[in-house]
Chain A
Amino acid sequence: MAAIESFDNIHLDLSREHGKCRFAESGLGWKPAGGGDTFTLDAGNIGGAQWSRAARGYEVKILQRSSGVIQLDGFQEEDYERLSKIFKSWYSTNLEYKEHSVRGWNWGKAEFGKAELSFNVQNRPAFEIPYSEISNTNLAGRNEIAVEFSLGDSAKANGQNGATPGKGRKAAAGRDQLVEMRFYIPGTTTRKEAEGGDA
């Protein structure tokens, strides 16, 4: 492997602008194509990595040791092998191939991980919500939880720019900005009555 492995047309945390993503033994960096500050992540802060299908090609999600997740998307399907080697030999990390549910169901199990909420359908995530993107949650009704997302100060121009990862603007990244999501979670009394439920 070369001392530096480089990938073009990669987006950092759903940035509107694409950039160059470079991996080295010491860590990784992302620089917007149009110029600007470079985001860097130290190899020591890489706690885990996942590979999955995203809207724009494929995504590498890095679970940081400190906290939070870094999303890099725009990879090609055939980049997997190269990336898998990079993570294995340089970061002693397995690039886990995460298959998502595409069944189209709206029922499953909301599970709370270290850095994100994962909605799983038949043990596969249908989507994940990094906690950094949530601005507010409240009990909206009986068994109903409302989760509101941060959309940035003036998110009129959809999509963020520059190297500002994990700052709570992923919900506003696309042409349709996600404002709120509501979940129905059966109550504890119902669960007790049902018996044997361990959720």
Chain B
Amino acid sequence: DKNGVEVKKFKRFESYKRDNQFPPKVRDMGIVIDAKNSTIVLPVMGRPVPFHINTIKNASKSDEGEWSFLRINFLSPGQGVGRKDDQPFEDASAHFVRSLTFRSMDGDRYADIANQISNLKRESVKKEQEKKDMED
């Protein structure tokens, strides 16, 4: 999908401006997909932590016995697959959260969340591409 010729530039993005913008569902201390704000809110030690869809690489579900696992991988430097790593970063010398893994006994829910994240990612990439095509 990329022509590989031009250098990709990093574009700033933001999930929320203020902490009163979280969806009310974060109360349950579970994973919340906030499609409207292109954000996944993940529970970390009782705190809702937003991650913009642009930081997410992919999400996958796996099973082990009665537990289901949901692993969310984020974009970070040094993950270049194949020929070159052309993913742009605002600050490649920063520390990065690279992945978060959650578990639950509700496997169907994780399959659904992984699916929703993939869809949101696909839509966001598509929108970016459309915007870029308009600019060209």
Contact = CB atoms under 8 A, between A and B. Distances in A.
Interface residues of B, number: 53
Given A104-B39, A107-B96, A178 B102 contact: yes
A52 B45 CA distance: 13
B26 interface: yes
Contacts of A183: 95-98
Nearest to A174: B29
B45 A14 contact: yes
A54 B46 contact: yes
Nearest to B99: A182
Nearest to B19: A53
A174 B30 contact: yes
B90 to A, nearest CB: 7
Contact of B16 (A104, A190, A194): A104
Interface residues of A, number: 53
Interface string A9-45: 0000010000000000000000000000000000000
B100 to A, nearest CB: 5
A104 B18 CA distance: 11
A106 B46 contact: no
B95 A108 contact: yes
Given A102-B19, A174-B28, A177-B102, A55 B97 contact: no
Interface in A121-161: 126-130, 133, 142-144, 151, 156
Interface in B1-43: 13-22, 26-31, 39, 42-43
A119 B43 CA distance: 14
B22 to A, nearest CB: 8
Given A106-B96, A119-B95, A181-B97, A73 B46 contact: yes
Contact of B15 (A104, A173, A181): A104
B16 A180 contact: no
Instruction: Report which residue of A103, A183, A194 has the largest number of chain B beta carbons within 10 angstroms of its beta carbon.
Output: A103
B47 A184 contact: no
A181 B50 CA distance: 15
Contact of A128 (B45, B48, B69): B45
Contacts of A191: 93
A186 interface: yes
16 contacts: A56-B46, A59-B46, A71-B45, A99-B19, A102-B22, A104-B51, A104-B52, A106-B51, A107-B90, A109-B95, A127-B47, A133-B45, A176-B102, A178-B43, A183-B96, A199-B93
